[in-house]
Amino acid sequence: MVILFIILPLIIAGLLPLLGKVSKKVLPDFLANAVFALLLGYSFNFAWNASAGKTILSQVNLAGIPLGITLRLDALSLLMLFTIALVSLGVGIFSVNYINQEKYSSKPIYYSLLLLTVAGMNGIVLSNDLFGIYVFLEIAAIASYALAAYGLGKEELEGSFKYLMLSVVATSFILLGISMIFALTGTVELNGIASVLAYSKAIKIKYLIGICSALFIMGFGLKSAIVPFHSWMPDAYSKAPATLPAMSSGIMVKAAGLYVLIRLFYNVFGITPAVQTVLMYLGVISIVVGALLALGQNNLQRLLAYSSISQIGYMVVGFAIGTPLGFIGALFHMFNHGIFKSLLFLNSGSIENATGTRELDELGGLAKKMPVTAGTNIVASLATAGVPPLNGFWSKLIIIIALVQAKFYIFALIGILASVVTLWYFLIIQRRAFFGKLNETWKDVKEAPFWMSLSSIMLALICIILGIAFPWFIRLWIEPAANVLVAGIIR
Amino acid sequence: MSISKITLLTIFIPIIGSLFIPLAGLISKRTRSVWAVLLAGTTALLPILLIPQAFSGTELIIRKALFPGFDFILVIDALSIFMSVVSSFIGLLIVIYSLGYIKDDANQNEYYLMVVMFIGSMMGIVYSANLVFLYLFWEISAICCWRLIGFYRGKQQVIKADKAFLVTFFGAALMLLGFIAIYNQTGTFDLTQMRGLAVSSTAVLLILLGMLSKSATVPLHTWLPDAGVAPTPVTAILHAAVLVKIGVYAFARIFCYTFQLPDFWLQTLPILAVVSSLVAAAAATVEHDMKRILAYSTVSQIGYIFLGFSMLNPLGVTGGLLFILMHGLSKAGLFLCAGVVEHNTHKRDIRELGGLIITMPITAITFLVCALSVIGIPPLGGFFSKFMVIAGTVHGGHYVAASLALFTALLTAFYLFRLFNAVFLGELKVSIVEKTPAMLFVIITLAVLSLLAGIFVSYPARFADVAALEILRYVK
Amino acid sequence: MNIDILLFPILLPLIFAVMGLFLKSKKLINYWAVLGSAAVLYCAYVLFGIKQASLVLPWLGHGIDFDLKLYGFNAAILLWVNIFTFLVVLYSTIKMETSTRIKEYYLYVFLTVMFANGSVLADNFVLFLFFWGGLLITLYMLIMLGNLNSYKTALKSLILLGLCDFCLLLGVVLLWKISGSLKISAISLEAQGLAMISFLLIMIGAIGKAGAMPFHNWIPDAAIDAPVTVMAFLPASLEKLLGIYLLTRISLDVFHFQMNSPVSIVLMTVGAITIVFAVMMALIQKDFKRLLSYHAVSQVGYMILGIGTGTPLGIVGGIFHMLNHAIYKTGLFLSSGSVELAAGTTEMKKLGGLMKSMPVTGLCFSVCALSISGVWPFNGFVSKEMIFHGSYETGYLIFTIAAWVGAIFTFASFLKAGHSIFFGAKSTEIPEVKENSWPVLVPMIILSAFCILFGVYSILPLKLFILPALSGHPEVLAELTFTHNLSLLNPIALISMGCLVIAFGLHYLGVKKGQGKAYLASEPVHNLPIIKTIYNLAENRVFDFYEQGVKLIKLLSKVIYYTVDRPIDFVYERVVTVTGRIVIFILRVLHNGRFANYLSWSLAGLMALGYVMGTLIKKAG
């Protein structure tokens, strides 16, 4: 029952506002997290199947009548489902305490938005047609606009608005691209498009596909915040509840952006050197610009947003290499980034929960008062910077190896140097927020509540465990997914 | 116990055991201290059991398959055993010394956690024969150092800690790129399969940057004196006596033992080493801060080790290895003496100190003994190591380098005695007596060992000889 | 356990040194020290009888063995080292009585003996360096026993001798590289090319230890700061013995050089310069100990000059002079100590007419002083004559003249010292003095006796101690027969006697000018026009190798620090951060939060993408 991945969160999302009337807190907490846990467990159900390289195509029917919608579950989409479920579980557990803050009004509605986002992302990942992707993209996006503005402060609304407006531009270009494809091939189904394109050799089609590629790179690139389409991200994140960027940067930019891009380029259109070159340069520019911008930020979440841009650059570069090792590295980094970046955002949520601010220069010496937050933050920071023995190291290492093997020596050097800058800005966070002497203002600060700490610890442990047990993880989850990309155009 | 089991325990007892230190700290301070000393003690003891293996002249390779290219490989030979014996032993002394030094400070759990884990990562580096795992342990040690330098949490300390971390990470990251370049050439990270491989100059440069940054060699050295400024002498020695040896060890393991260096580097390295030595010595002559002087002195001495190794002849390599031992003992002694002074007087500027020999005779004498050893005056251990390095250099035909190295030795004598005279002799400015027996015990041990290492030099020398032969087996 | 007898001279002092630390009473320590030095002396005597022995133990590998070898010459040196030690220790029992650090003192003395014996016996250069370098530490510690400021002098000695030792080390290593061996007795090279550099480096080590210019500056300072027994022990006797011993070995056995070869000229020049400049400094000193210490430097010049001549006569003279000098200079220092002990000062201005109250000291001083001045028939006369003859044979008259000039001022300065301290009018500035007790006097008497004995029967020491040094050099032995019937009436001897007359004249003139005040006797020379400026510069330490060297080192360090080290740090601390900040500032300005701005980027990006894609596809074809 592949459809469960979409239906379950959708149904619960619909029910929650109603059930919220009965129990304002406990029931939504429980239900939402149960859904995430269930989805996580359920994704394991397909793991062996997928790692054997099988693809499940399932027709969606309503009471036995086919709706003409096909879902596609292969190793790549399963990896995405797994990541989405894992991160959203972390975020869900974190929200148990976090959304108790006064400025966030209704918990049931919050959870239903969260579930809606997850449903949307799962939909994108599973859809076998461009139109489905577009629809679910909008579902996820609208839910996240609402989440971004959840605190209803002035800046939150402004950020959310900017996010919305830019996204609309992006989605309209995506729609344009989809319609061009439809006009060109007469179908929106991925395998349909693939088979049509595979047989057409006309130069005109190549140009048209080129234009579509440009449209998609811009549209989905904006969703995944690749420079120069990145500008919405810091503004949307800086004031939103910490859980939104955790979800969004952790998984949404990948599911709604990167995933679709690589799916289209590698499995549908067939990769061309032109696209590879473009992606490579965009990736490297993202790495550098993101890292440098992060260096100068004072707002923790803004900083992390820029850091995300930089890290996504690594994934883009990894995918653009086009070698199996590149795929493995990029996919692994995608998963890892989901874990540690959402952990970082959650940490900023913990800090904000305790102190009421996210401005670095107002913080200081919190390690003493908030050991769990500080400890998990170090783990996540070092993982992001690519310091062993944490998971981020291995994925970056694989990407760099792939770059060197493909003879992109300069890009490898830039990647390495950017990770030094990455470490630099994370050390600045450490220095100004945690390490150092305790700021007198915060002498009464307490550690984050139980569920928030639990979620942080869980994610941090994943970082550490994957740092040690990465070979098994790669074999079970990453390699099959990479094989899907290696296999090329789908039939 | 089998050799391989002992080796695995040597690495993993401190690393995993250190994670339980905060838990032990929850029970009581005493439990934690005992546990930490126990861990360090075990780690110091285990490599000693391996010494017979070292003298057998054979190497043992342990291989645990993980992921193609990323196999966990350990190499147990005279070189790795030598390094692990030396560094774990000094590590143990440092832990004991800390019992006295930081007993009144905050964050002790973290401190012991980091120190013991550092020792463990050092063991990991020493035995790793896979470049990726070498790098992995390398960075663990960097993380530990970062926390340790910033131990006191003052703004300045934390900034310097960050600087140290960044500079070493910068070097290490480039080194990783160098490793990858080699991987690209050979298809493996396994050092044991690359022996005698000729590597490109670019790869050498990249890897060398990592080693230079870790071993604080010009031009990547300034983090070390800055780290010395951080008010924990224990961390300072950890750096000076153990950490900086990582780079030179890696040099021996990778460039002497495994690869064939291009001619260009064979000619350039001695110059680099001597220049580093000289610049640091000059800086030590100018500085006024006790610990900065000693840190620069470390930089300067590391130059000698590089010089010895870069000669690739038995004398030079043996000398370099002996230097690691002798410098470890005596420089640790110097730093710890400075620590005793600082702990009691709360002053580090040598202009504010003086005449302490009257109130702190033991510290003064141990300082003097260690200083003489560092300068290289017989019958102390430092003489032999310095002599063999110089002899190796001359045998390698680098006469100018040898002369400059000796000039540096003279500078060493000059600045160390400048320090000694300013702190311990002359007019008494702060009258404070020695206390904390744990600290005195350690400095006396180190001074006595520096002396014994000189008198009974033939034992470590034989060990170093075996290791040197091991290293040079694949040099053409 | 079977311990080789060759180890005894090394192990015995060590045992006595360590055991001495556990003794409580001062008296006991004194007895213990005398006993110890007597035991070691006996041991050395036995070895002197054995003459030939060797011991090789494995040590460091690479050809670095624990290699001891005894042969005629070093057996003699060993004997003399221990004779002097015994005498000094005996003397110290009284002289050092007041010192609170007597235990330390004997510890260092015994360690010094150990190192000295070891370096005399060593037949492997590394082992030799091991013992030789150890002397640095004991010397440093011994000087530290002096007054409050002695640490500066101690450091000075350590740095200067350390420099020499490092040169020596480099020379040894170079020699190793050239000859492939470290065994001293096995190396035999021509002093040419690299070997010459090696020789010169080792030579610096040797003459530095002996105290030649320019490595001598610590000696006069130590004379003031360090205990006088230390001066008698190290600079006056042991270090001369060791330094010249090494010089002899490398000049005769290890390297060969011909008369008037470049090496020979270098040695002779160093010797001549040392003689003249040091004696000039000695002349104007107003403190007895300081005066002696400059002479200790000046006399080294003779030895170096003698050995540097490369002629058999000169070499034998140089070695003989080493022995003689050790004898009379120790005697002189001991007498100055005796004066200090009795009168509390050694400043000539305050002293006077001590002969009456301290006849034994005065007599011993006189003997030694005449000896050092080269007056017939004392031992100094014989060895100096040999050196004059030797240097004359080389044909470079200038060196002989320098030696003569030295002789003039040596005698003049001792006339001045003796006149002002022991003779002349009684001084009123010091209280009534008494002669010292026997442990102080006996060493001086013995040494004076040697002065006379070796002067009258010069064949005795030559045969016993000096000839063995030349074993294996038959051509030298053949000519040596000439030496012991050195006619008193040859032109050279007459000239040197003339020198003594000139010296006397100078003294007489000086005293007359100084209104009868003997300590002003050197003033006329002091005040000569050009010489006066030179003296002033010297007093201001302009010629002090150490002071100038330290200044240079400080300057050099500062230059390197501010031109290399700080700029590198500046890159990390400033350049990197500031560049980063500038880039960040630009990027931040661009990210101004305006929606329109962002939208335009996205659209521009899209256009650029489309264009790039188009061209790339076109290119791909």
Q: Using an 8 Å CB-CB cutoff, list chain B residues near A400.
A: 176-177, 180
Contact list, C165 vs chain B (CB under 8 Å): 377
pLDDT confidence tier of residue C1, bands split at 50, 70 and 90: very low
Two tokens, residue C521: 């006797």
Structural domain range at position A109: 4-487
pLDDT value at C621 more than 70? no
**Can you say whether the dihedral through the CA atoms of C559, C562, C565, C571 is positive or negative?**
negative
Which of C598, C609, C610 lies nearest to residue A231, judging by beta carbons?
Answer: C598
**Is there a domain that residue C555 lies in?**
no
Number of domains present in the structure of chain C:
1
C411: closest CA among C530, C299, C287? C299
The total of other beta-carbon atoms located within 10 Å of residue B441's CB is 15
Residue-by-residue DSSP string for B118-139: HHHHHHHHHHB-BHHHHHHHHH
Top residue of A207, A231, A281 to mutate, by most chain C CBs within 10 Å, is A231
- Give the pairing of strands B60-64 and A65-73: unpaired
Query: For residue C480, what are the domain limits?
Result: 5-543
Position of tokens 């609309």?
A168
- Tell me if C602 and A169 make a contact (CB, 8 A cut-off): yes
Judged by DSSP in three states, B354 sits in coil
Nearest residue on chain C to A236, alpha-carbon basis: C593
Q: Which DSSP category does B77 fall into?
A: S
Inter-CA distances, A77 with A37, A83, A140, Å: 18, 10, 17
Residues 6+ away with beta carbon under 8 Å from B471: B79, B252, B256, B257, B317
Element (H, E) at B101: helix B78-101
With vertex at residue A38, the alpha carbon angle to CA A36 and CA A44, rounded to the nearest 5 degrees, is 110
- Residue C524, H or E segment: helix C523-526
CB contact under 8 A, A214 and C606: yes
Torsion of CA A285, A287, A291, A292, to 10 degrees: -20
* C401-407 average pLDDT score: 88
Contact B255, B175 (CB under 8 A): no
- What's the rounded Cα separation, in Å, for the pair A119 and C30? 98
Contacting chains of B (3 CB pairs or more, <8 Å) are A, C
- Give chain B's length: 476
A435 chain-B contacts, CB cut-off 8 A: 150, 153, 158, 161
The position carrying tokens 């619909």 is A14
The least confident of A338-347, B118-127, C121-130, C210-219 is C210-219
Distance CA B221, CA B232 (A): 19
Residues of A in contact with B66 (CB under 8 A): 471
Q: Could you tell me the maximum CA-CA distance found in chain B, to the nearest angstrom?
A: 66
The shortest CB-CB distance from C601 to any of A206, A215, A228 is to A228
Residue whose token pair is 């026997």: C438
Residue C595, domain member (yes or no) = no
Q: Count of domains in chain A?
A: 1
Chain C residues at the A interface, defined by Cβ less than 8 Å, are: 580-581, 583-585, 587-588, 591, 593, 595, 597-599, 601-606, 609-610, 612-614, 616-617, 620
Long-range contacts of C246-249 (CB under 8 A, 24+ apart): C246/C132, C246/C202, C246/C205, C246/C206, C246/C209, C247/C203, C247/C206, C247/C207, C247/C210, C247/C303, C247/C304, C247/C307, C248/C73, C248/C307, C248/C315, C248/C318, C248/C319, C248/C469, C249/C73, C249/C184
The minimum CA-CA distance between A170 and chain C, rounded to whole Å, is: 9
What span, in angstroms and rounded, lies between the C-alpha atoms of A193 and A182? Answer: 8
- The reply to whether residue A431 touches residue B159, judged by beta carbons under 8 angstroms, is yes
**Radius of gyration of chain A from Cα atoms?**
21
CA B116 to chain centre: 15
Contacts of C348 (CB under 8 A, 6+ apart): C286, C287, C288, C291, C416, C417, C420, C421, C518, C519
- How far apart are the CA of A66 and the nearest CA of chain C, in angstroms? 39
Query: Are A401 and B162 a contacting pair at CB < 8 A?
Result: no
pLDDT at C484: 47
Interface check for B205 against chain A (CB to CB < 8 A): the answer is no
> Hey, what amino acid is at C234?
L
Each residue of C443-497: pLDDT tens digit?
888 889 988 888 888 778 887 787 777 766 655 555 555 454 455 667 777 888 8
pLDDT at C317: 85
CB distance from B288 to chain C under 8 Å?
no
CB atoms < 10 A from the CB of C472, how many? 12
Write a three-state SS string for chain A: CCCHHHHHHHHHHHHHHHHCCCCCCHHHHHHHHHHHHHHHHHHHHCHHHHHCCCCEEEEEEECCEEEEEEEEECHHHHHHHHHHHHHHHHHHHHHHHHCCCCCCCCHHHHHHHHHHHHHHHHHHHHECEHHHHHHHHHHHHHHHHHHHCCCCCHHHHHHHHHHHHHHHHHHHHHHHHHHHHHHHHCCCEHHHHHHHHHHCCCHHHHHHHHHHHHHHHHHHHHHCCCCCCCCHHHHHHHHCCCHHHHHHHHHHHHHHHHHHHHHHHHHHHCCCHHHHHHHHHHHHHHHHHHHHHHHCCCEHHHHHHHHHHHHHHHHHHHHHHCCHHHHHHHHHHHHHHHHHHHHHHHHHHHHHHHHCCCEHHHCCCHHHCCHHHHHHHHHHHHHHHCCCCCHHHHHHHHHHHHHHHCCCHHHHHHHHHHHHHHHHHHHHHHHHHHCCCCCHHHCCCCCCCHHHHHHHHHHHHHHHHHHHHHHHHHHHHHHHHHHHHHHCCCC
A 10 A CB-CB count for C3 gives: 9
Model pLDDT, residue C559: 93
Closest residue by Cα to residue C123 from C158, C74, C171:
C74
CB B317 within 8 A of CB B392: yes
Tell me which residue in A393, A419, A427 faces B165 most closely, judged by beta carbons.
Answer: A427
* pLDDT tens readout for residues C31-44: 888 899 999 999 98
Say yes or no for a CB contact (<8 Å) between C557 and B282. yes
Average pLDDT, chain C: 85
Sign of torsion, CA C275 C280 C283 C286?
A: negative
The single residue listed with the structure tokens 């919305």 is A164
pTM for the predicted model, two decimal places: 0.90
Distance between B418 CA and the closest CA of chain C, angstroms: 9
Query: pLDDT tens, position by position, for chain A (491 residues)?
Result: 788 888 889 898 888 888 888 877 788 888 889 999 999 998 888 888 777 878 888 888 777 777 778 888 888 889 999 999 999 999 999 988 888 877 777 888 888 899 999 999 999 999 888 888 999 999 998 888 888 888 777 888 888 888 888 888 889 999 999 999 898 888 888 888 888 888 877 778 888 888 888 899 999 998 888 888 888 888 888 888 888 888 888 888 888 889 999 988 888 888 888 889 899 999 999 999 999 888 888 888 889 999 999 999 999 999 999 899 999 999 999 999 999 999 999 999 998 888 888 888 888 788 888 889 988 999 999 999 988 888 999 999 999 999 999 989 999 999 999 999 999 989 888 888 888 777 777 788 888 888 999 999 999 999 999 988 888 888 888 888 898 888 888 87
Q: Residue C614 domain-assigned?
A: no
The H or E element that residue B198 is part of is strand B197-198
Answer whether B295's CB lies under 8 Å from B227's CB: yes
* pLDDT at res. A411: 93
| Pairing status of strand B60-64 against strand B72-76 | antiparallel
The chain C residue lying nearest B421, using CA atoms, is C151
Q: Cβ of A228 and C605 within 8 Å?
A: yes
CA distance B356 to B351: 13
Given a cut of 70, the residues of chain B with pLDDT beneath it are: 69, 229-237, 476
How near does any CA of chain C get to the CA of B86, in Å?
A: 19
